[in-house]
Amino acid sequence: MEPERHEYKGHRIELRQREGREERVAAAEGEEKLELLIDDESVRYGQLPDGQYALEEYAYDWTDDLMDLAQRFIDYRDRADEIRRQADSGEEG
């Protein structure tokens, strides 16, 4: 994988090289060399034996395209936030 950056629904998704100590720790743990960030927050991911990626916080879905998976994770979080808002407004009213 190569470093890349995309905007998706107002969120910034970035794959970038890990820096310094993080790179050494990741290499020791057998993790990917690239770090996935969504809105400047690191998102842990792993690769399944068949080459597909899965996110630690979103193991319900996996794909061989990490950027696509990050977009699906954003959609999932947006839906979950919307459901929470609806539930909160229903309880108050």
Q: Evaluate whether 64 touches 52 at the Cβ level (below 8 Å).
A: yes
Question: For the chain, how long is the longest CA-to-CA vector?
Answer: 52
Determine the pLDDT at residue 93: 47
Residue type, 69: L
Name residues of the chain where pLDDT drops below 50: 26, 93
State the CB neighbour count (10 A cutoff) for residue 21: 8
Q: So where are the chain's domains?
A: 4-92
Determine the pLDDT at residue 27: 52
Residue with structure tokens 């400047």? 40
User: Fold for domain 4-92?
Assistant: protein ne1242 fold (3.30.1880)
